[in-house]
Every structure is written in structure tokens, then in C-alpha cells.
């Protein structure tokens, strides 16, 4: 399958590794900064003859890829994805798929109209530990789910935010809930049944006065099925990335995933299980080199088979929209100081411009 990547920055290595591992034919790399595309080509020892483009329109026209991954600044995802879809390509869109619900809807409308597949790049769904929890959930082992919690206790310093102008801006990125925490927010909503009725949020910028968005967020979710969700997200954790956890509490079981990016099972207790099972599962996990994890490879494998079998990808565009909607609902509630009901009317990260301007904390 002919594959191209648009956006050759930090996360691009995971994409090229996943493309190679899955036997895709890489036909082009594209980046506004052509040297970023060149250094990616060199890092993976791709042929010198591999075409590099600064303009993705030209790349689509000349190379006609069947599958394109979009890993550019978040605020550019929707326009680029829609152009790729309209060129007839299947598309993997890095998270968040867009920064406004209107843009997410444009992607979904184009996907339907063109009859292609769109995958939202929430790769942690493929973590072995997450798959273990999902299987128990699907088998009904938790019984009625009472509530779930997620905590993203990471750290991003000034050098990270200053490494590129788009980071932490409302127009291109959002704050930590939209960037770092959206993976866990996707997992929580997915595990608890997707159908969120109401959201209460609080957000703040506690330690990063040079970014526009939040560096800290808290939220409560009430689901239509009667369960509850709790979210805590921070990039202010002293000493570096500490943990990303996901815990589900049901009437007949509980499970906690931990590690730096929900890559390990920390607790596993079920009424229909025994101590031996708990001990075995509690040792299960992966040790990725960074918080991006190993999931891109499986996500690509799933997307390729979704295209070949003409089925929805495991993480489809609707899932990407739901994760985005949850973050925007937290932003809306936090800004208005009151709960918001879902579905959320149109909302965009740029609606919150100026929210933390002048934040000074002693």
C-alpha cells in the first residue's frame, strides 16, 4: 500500500517505524521544513531517491498515496486531512483529530462522502494492559461499572514549549488536556461507555506563564448509563513524567493500569477470578522508551486491515471526535464556572483565547 507522511517532527519516528514494520511502501515524506523530511529519511535509511515535499498538495498530486498520516501541528490537522480525503486517500490523523467540533465534523463528512477510512491516532488503546482491561470489560467481568478515574501526572518544561511556536497556543494546540491528556480521556470515555451526559471542569495555568493554554485540569463526568468519571491532568509534576493511570471500579471487579503511560497492570481483582490470576496479570505490561508507547505499530496494522477488509478502524473518526468533545466540554465548563450538558454545541479551542493571560501565581 502506497503511504506518505505529512509532518516530520517529534512523533514522526513512530509513524515511519510503524509504516516499515507493517510493510507499507513509503512513497513520500512532506514537511514545511524540508530538512525535517530529509533528516527523517536519513534516520531510517530510506532511499535517497524518496521524494520529499514542502507542499502536501503537490505531494498528493505527484505521488498519489493510498494512505496518508497527518502529524502536523494540531490546528492544521482538519484542513490537511480533508484535502487528503478529497484526493481519495485513507488517513491516519494524529490526536487531537481537530481543535473544533466543526472541523471534526468536516472530516467525518468528507470521509463518508469519499468512502475512505479515517483513523484517530489514539495508539494507547492498543497497549497490552489496556487491551486486557477492555477484554474484561467486554466479557462483563466488572459487572455494573460504578466509576473510573484517570490521572496524567507528567512534566513539560519551558524548553519543550519553546521548542516550537505552536505548542501551548489556543489556535494550534490547546493546553495539556488537549495535548498530553487526550489519550487517557479517550480511554476513560471508551471504557465507561462513551455516552457522557454532563461534565464539570476546572482548568488553570499554574506554572507555565509563557503558554496560552492550561497546564492543569480537573474534571468530573456523569455518564448516561449512571457511571461517573474523574480526570486529573497535569504537566507540573516535579521530577518528570511520573504516571498515567486508568482505574475502573465495578460492582464485581476493579482494575488499575499504571506505568508512565497506562502500559502496566497495577491491580486486578475480580469476583470470578482468583489470587493466582491477579498475581499473573499484575505482572503484565510493557516498558516503552517514552510516553508515546508501542501502539503506533498496532494502530497501523489495524488501519491497513480495516482498509483491506472494508470495515471501520478500531479507533475511528467518531472516537477522535468524542475525545475532542470531552476536552472542549471541560474547557467550556471551566470557563463558564458551571456544568455543561453533552452533546456540546459547536466549540473550538480558540473560544478560550485570553483565558489565562496575565496568570501570575506566587
Ligand X SMILES: NC(=O)c1ccc[n+]([C@@H]2O[C@H](COP(=O)([O-])OP(=O)(O)OC[C@H]3O[C@@H](n4cnc5c(N)ncnc54)[C@H](O)[C@@H]3O)[C@@H](O)[C@H]2O)c1
Q: Which is nearer to ligand X, 176 or 227 (CB)?
A: 176
| Residues 90-149 contacting ligand X, CB under 6 A | 94-95, 121, 123
In the complex, which residue's CB is closest to ligand X?
9
**Residue 230 pairs with which residues in a beta bridge?**
149, 220
Among 31, 83, 302, 325, binds ligand X (CB under 6 A): 31
Q: Is residue 181 close enough to count as binding ligand X by CB under 6 A? A: no
- Local structure of residue 345 (DSSP, 8 states): P
10 binds ligand X (CB under 6 A): yes
Closest approach, Cβ 180 to ligand X, in A, equals 9
Nearer to ligand X, 145 or 231 (CB): 231
Of 4-12, 82-90, 136-144, 185-193, the segment contacting ligand X by CB under 6 A is 4-12
On whether the CB atoms of residues 63 and 89 are closer than 8 A, the answer is: no
Q: Give the C-alpha separation, 213 to 200, whole Å.
A: 18
Query: Which helix (H) or strand (E) covers residue 173, if one does?
Result: none
Q: Which of 20, 34, 50, 164 binds ligand X (CB under 6 A)?
A: 164
Which of the ranges 28-36, 138-146, 247-255, 341-349 carries the binding residues for ligand X, by CB under 6 A?
A: 28-36
**Integer Cα distance of 48 and 286 in angstroms:** 35
- Tally Cβ neighbours within 10 Å of residue 75: 22
Distance, in Å, from the CA atom of 36 to the CA atom of 9, rounded to the nearest integer, reads 7
292 binds ligand X (CB under 6 A): yes
Candidates 2-10, 153-161, 272-280, 323-331; binding stretch for ligand X (CB under 6 A):
2-10
Q: Which residues pair with 232 in a beta bridge?
A: 151, 218
CB atoms within 10 A of CB 272: 12
Query: Is the Cβ of residue 268 or residue 294 nearer to ligand X in the bound state?
Result: 294
Q: Which of 4, 8, 219, 324 binds ligand X (CB under 6 A)?
A: 8
Q: Give CA 86 to chain center in angstroms.
A: 23
Residue 122 has a CB neighbour count (10 Å cut-off) of 25
Q: State the number of binding residues for ligand X (CB under 6 A).
A: 26
Q: Closest approach of Cβ 37 to ligand X, in Å?
A: 8
Question: How many whole angstroms separate alpha carbon 66 and alpha carbon 89?
Answer: 5
Residues 215/235, Cβ–Cβ less than 8 Å:
yes
Residue with cell 534516520: 43
Rounded to a whole number of angstroms, the minimum distance from the CB of residue 294 to ligand X is 11
Show the cell assigned to 77: 490537522
The verdict on 33 binding ligand X (CB under 6 A) reads: yes
Least distance in angstroms from the C-beta of 44 to ligand X: 15
Q: Cα 80 from chain centroid? A: 17
Show contacts with ligand X in window 65-84 (CB under 6 A). Answer: 71-74, 76, 80
The alpha carbons of the chain give a radius of gyration, in whole angstroms, of 20
Q: Is 234 in the site for ligand X (CB under 6 A)?
A: no
Interacting residue with ligand X among 1, 17, 20, 32 (CB under 6 A): 32
Cβ closest to ligand X, residue 154 vs residue 270: 154
Build a one-symbol-per-residue string for 44-63: x at contacts with ligand X by CB under 6 A, - elsewhere: ------------x-------
- The rounded distance, in Å, linking the Cα atoms of 231 and 217 is 8
CA atoms within 13 A on the CB side of 281: 25
Q: Nearer to ligand X by C-beta: 73 or 147?
A: 73
Q: Which residues bind ligand X (CB under 6 A)?
A: 6-12, 30-33, 36, 56, 71-74, 76, 80, 94-95, 121, 123, 164, 179, 292
Amino acid at each position: 500500500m502506497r503511504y506518505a507522511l505529512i509532518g516530520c517532527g517529534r512523533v514522526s519516528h513512530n509513524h515511519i517505524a510503524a509504516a516499515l514494520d507493517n510493510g507499507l511502501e513509503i512513497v513520500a515524506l512532506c514537511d514545511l521544513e524540508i530538512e525535517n523530511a530529509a533528516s527523517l529519511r536519513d534516520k531510517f535509511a530510506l532511499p535517497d531517491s524518496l521524494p520529499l515535499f514542502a507542499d502536501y498538495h503537490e505531494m498528493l498530486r505527484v505521488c498519489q498515496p493510498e494512505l496518508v498520516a497527518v502529524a502536523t501541528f494540531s490546528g492544521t490537522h482538519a484542513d490537511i486531512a480533508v484535502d487528503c480525503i478529497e484526493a481519495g486517500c485513507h488517513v491516519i490523523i494524529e490526536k487531537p483529530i481537530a481543535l473544533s467540533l466543526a472541523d471534526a465534523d468536516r472530516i467525518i463528512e468528507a470521509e463518508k462522502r469519499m468512502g475512505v477510512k479515517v483513523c484517530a491516532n489514539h495508539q494507547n488503546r492498543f497497549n497490552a494492559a489496556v487491551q486486557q482491561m477492555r477484554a474484561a470489560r467486554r466479557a462483563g467481568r466488572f459487572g455494573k461499572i460504578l466509576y473510573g478515574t484517570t490521572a496524567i501526572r507528567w512534566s513539560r518544561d519551558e524548553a519543550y514549549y519553546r521548542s516550537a511556536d505552536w505548542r501551548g497556543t489556543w489556535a494550534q494546540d490547546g493546553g495539556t488536556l488537549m495535548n498530553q491528556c487526550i489519550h487517557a480521556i479517550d480511554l476513560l470515555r471508551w471504557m465507561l461507555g462513551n455516552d457522557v451526559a454532563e461534565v464539570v471542569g476546572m482548568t488553570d495555568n499554574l506554572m507555565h506563564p509563557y503558554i496560552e493554554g492550561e497546564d492543569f485540569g480537573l474534571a468530573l463526568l456523569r455518564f448516561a448509563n449512571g457511571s461517573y468519571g474523574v480526570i486529573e491532568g497535569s504537566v507540573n509534576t516535579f521530577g518528570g513524567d511520573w504516571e498515567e493511570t486508568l482505574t475502573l471500579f465495578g460492582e464485581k471487579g476493579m482494575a488499575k493500569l499504571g506505568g508512565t503511560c497506562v502500559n502496566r497492570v497495577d491491580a486486578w481483582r475480580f469476583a470470578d477470578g482468583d489470587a493466582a490470576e491477579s498475581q499473573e496479570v499484575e505482572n503484565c505490561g510493557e516498558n516503552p522508551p517514552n510516553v508515546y508507547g508501542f501502539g503506533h505499530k498496532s494502530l497501523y496494522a489495524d488501519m491497513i486491515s480495516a482498509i483491506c477488509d472494508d470495515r471501520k478502524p478500531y479507533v475511528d473518526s467518531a472516537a477522535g471526535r468524542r475525545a475532542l468533545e470531552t476536552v472542549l466540554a471541560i474547557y467550556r465548563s471551566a470557563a463558564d464556572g458551571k456544568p455543561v450538558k453533552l452533546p456540546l454545541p459547536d466549540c473550538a479551542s480558540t473560544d478560550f483565547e485570553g483565558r489565562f493571560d496575565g496568570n501570575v501565581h506566587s
